[in-house]
Amino acid sequence: MIEGGNVVLYPIFLGLDGRRCVVVGGGEVASRKARKLLQARAGVVVISPEITTELESVAVEVHRRPYKEGDLEGAYLVFAATDSREANAAVAREAKERGIPVNVADRPRDGDFALPATLRRGGLQVAVSTGGASPTLARRIKDRLEEMFGPEWAGIVEELERDRRRGNKSEERLEREVSRCLSRLSG
């Protein structure tokens, strides 16, 4: 259960490379979730009687049929994103029985995690969440951050990573550039 005034979500970035992630649903909501999974190099499995062409193109496995008990076998993460309350509830139930974290699109409180709005600039990722209360607000905040964190941040993070791998402290010039970029945040 993730909704409620006293719930505090633990922010985490997961490595999903090659992990089986099941998306139950075939529409736009499912497509958005699958696109993000694909960016993380997850093994996307889609289950739905009707599937958009885009969704089918990102999945490593497609089952053109309704969800059925047992479909979550071997899943690392599950996304219930159908237009049926009953189907989403059944997916959530099986995921919980199997101990698999589940995101429930139509009723976030039935799931284990919320998906943040994310900004990515190379290795820099900034996530904004309202804990499922208002995805629109999270997206608007992320949009504002996009204006502040321009494409130059990808290069800055790359340079910092190279220096760190070499065991070097970042050069003064790079530190000045980071300070200059961060100063834009405060206005």
CA distance 57 to 51: 10
CA distance 151 to 120: 9
Provide the pLDDT for residue 114: 86
Q: How far is CA 105 from the centre of its chain?
A: 13
First-to-final CA distance of the chain: 38
Select from 50, 49, 16 the least CA-distant residue to 35.
16
In this structure, the answer to whether residues 85 and 140 fall within a common structural domain is: no
Task: State pTM to two decimals.
Answer: 0.83
In this structure, the answer to whether residues 48 and 86 fall within a common structural domain is: yes
Provide the pLDDT for residue 69: 97
Q: What is the tens place of the pLDDT at every residue in 117-165? A: 999 999 999 999 887 778 899 999 999 999 888 898 898 888 888 877 8
Is pLDDT above 70 for 26? yes
**Residues of the chain above pLDDT 70, percent:** 89
Is pLDDT above 90 for 84? yes
CA distance 138 to 36: 16
Confidence band for 178, pLDDT divided at 50, 70 and 90: confident
**Among the three residues 63, 86, 113, which one is the final residue of a domain in this structure?**
113
**Among the three residues 113, 134, 151, which one is the final residue of a domain in this structure?**
113
Is pLDDT above 80 for 38? yes
**Among the three residues 91, 113, 135, which one is the final residue of a domain in this structure?**
113
Q: What are 25's two structure tokens?
A: 């649903």
CA distance 114 to 11: 10
Counting the structural domains of the chain, the total is 2
Residue 47 lies in a domain: yes
